[in-house]
Amino acid sequence: MDTNIIYNGFYKLIGITGEPGVLAMTVAILIGIVVVLAVVLLHVAYATYFERKVIGHMQLRLGPMRVGPHGLLQPIADGLKLFFKEDIFPATDFKTVFRLAPIYTLFAALSSLAAIPFVSTFYIANINVGILYIFAISAVSTYGIIMAGWASKSKYAFLGGLRSAAQLISYEVAMGLSLVGVMIMAGSLNFIEIVEAQQTHWYGMYLIPQFLGFFVFAIAAFAETNRVPFDLPEAESELVAGYFAEYSGMRFSLFFLGEYVAMIVMSSMSVLCFFGGWTLPPFLTNAIPALNMIPGIFIFIGKVYFHIFVFYWIRATLPRYRYDYLMRLGWKVLIPLALVNIVITSVIKYLA
């Protein structure tokens, strides 16, 4: 029997004891998907607000202030505006591809959420190769960007798409290698087991022994989500808006959603693999037992929000990398660092 509270609650509600049937399981999973999507998309809406506020204050501005108190209704106003905007098509021969690209991007981003456990008792699917699944899906998300760039029939969009392809492929390698250290230490590819393995150490976070891996992972995550300082695919000052220069209205907002969901997924992955997920370090909970009372989901969300804040913080601070620097950093610095990390981790693991 599953430990998932949503699934179990549903089974209890309709009176199933023992092994649930296929139909009941499907309905239970659909309910889980709806809950996760609703919560995540709402968070995405307010992540844009949070971003504008954080960056605004870092630049001594106020950010959105006029729509609602302190601009709190701004994301809703933005969403409505995008929803009702005219849908413009460029003079392209690939209308189907053009239509599919944003859907594909959002699909890739959202399906990554399926494997992420938010707490040990709340997830959509608890699969034993969770890390590999998310790698696979984030590799697939490149296609959406390439399709958009190609079908837009615009030089800027095409360049953006090409850059994105090169960038994502390069950093995929570094990111995959950076997590191998975590896999070696935890002895598992399942997120829940990785988090539980972190609890066996007094520090409760793989961030400390795996700082090298975390460094590589963090930089690769920025590149993977196309965020500043690696936002070359959509570089505003060079490529107008890069791969989505030709998009407008709802299709544009799908790309936007995809980008923010990818950011949340990357933050969640970092939280699960390096920050101990929904748990606090044992040395803290031993010192202050009251901390055990905090529900795991709040700890998880707090850590994810910290990561998202760092994304914004970096965006407010750093300029964009030059393209050849980006490639040099990826292949000549990050991948060797990740390999060194793997070697050190496995030697220590073997000796210990």
Partner 1 sequence: MTLQQFVNRVFLIDIIKGMALTLKMMFRHAVTRQYPDEVRDPIPSFRGRHAFVRDQKTGKEKCIMCMKCSQICPSQCIHIEKGKREDGKMYLAKFEIESLRCIFCGYCVEVCPVCALDLTEEHRYSSYTREECLFTRERLLSNWDSLAAKWKEDTYFNKFWRPDGIDSSKMPKAKRELAPIPLRVAAAPPAEIATAKPAAEAKPEETAQPAPPAEKPAAEEKGKETAQ
The secondary structure of the chain in percent helix, strand, coil, rounded to multiples of 5, reads 70, 0, 25
Q: Which of 58, 76, 184, 327 binds partner 1 (CB under 8 A)?
A: 58
Coil/strand/helix, residue 16: coil
Phi, psi at 294, each rounded to 5°: -70, 130
Which of 8, 45, 56, 285 binds partner 1 (CB under 8 A)? It is 56
| Dihedral sign, Cα of residue 119, residue 121, residue 124, residue 127 | positive
**Nearest approach, Cβ of 340 to partner 1 (angstroms)?**
13
If we measure between CA atoms, which residue out of 203, 214, 178 comes closest to residue 286?
203
Q: Is 169 in the site for partner 1 (CB under 8 A)?
A: no
Instruction: Choose which of 12, 57, 155, 322 interacts with partner 1 (CB under 8 A).
Output: 57
User: Toward partner 1, which CB reaches closer, 30 or 62?
Assistant: 62
Q: Is 65 in the site for partner 1 (CB under 8 A)?
A: yes
Smallest distance from partner 1 to CB 106, Å: 30
Per-residue contact track with partner 1, 317 to 336, x per CB under 8 A?
xx------------------
**Euclidean distance between CA atoms 37 and 17, whole angstroms:** 28
Under the binding rule (CB under 8 A), the answer on residue 54 touching partner 1 is yes
- Looking at the DSSP bridge assignments, the partners of residue 166 are none
**Beta bridge mates, 2:** none
- The C-alpha torsion from 286 through 287 and 292 to 297, rounded to 10°, is -100
249 contributes a contact to partner 1 by CB under 8 A: no
Does residue number 314 form part of the binding site for partner 1 (CB under 8 A)? yes
Cβ at position 53, least distance to partner 1 in Å: 10
The least distance separating partner 1 from the CB of residue 222, rounded to whole angstroms, comes to: 12
- Residue 122's φ and ψ, nearest 5 degrees, are -140, 115
59, 96, 128, 292: which one binds partner 1 (CB under 8 A): 59
The secondary element (H helix, E strand) that includes residue 219 is helix 211-224
C-beta of 59 vs 96, nearer to partner 1: 59
For the bound state, the minimum distance from the C-beta of residue 58 to partner 1, rounded and expressed in Å, comes to 5
Stretch that binds partner 1, among 24-32, 52-60, 109-117, 139-147 (CB under 8 A): 52-60
Tell whether residue 61 is a contact of partner 1 (CB under 8 A): yes
Question: Which residues, including other chains, have CB under 8 Å from residue 65's CB and lie 6 or more apart?
Answer: 71
- Of 140 and 314, nearer to partner 1 (C-beta) is 314
Alpha-carbon distance 149 to 88, whole Å? 15
Q: Mask of contacts with partner 1, 255-294, x by CB under 8 A?
A: ----------------------------------------
Give bridge partners of residue 119 from the DSSP assignment: 122
- The two three-digit tokens of residue 50, written as one number: 């949070």
Tell me the residue type at 202.
W
Is 60 a binding residue for partner 1 by CB under 8 A? The answer is yes
| Number of alpha carbons in the 13 Å side-chain half-sphere of residue 71 | 18
Q: Give residues in contact with partner 1 (CB under 8 A).
A: 54, 56-62, 65, 313-314, 316-318
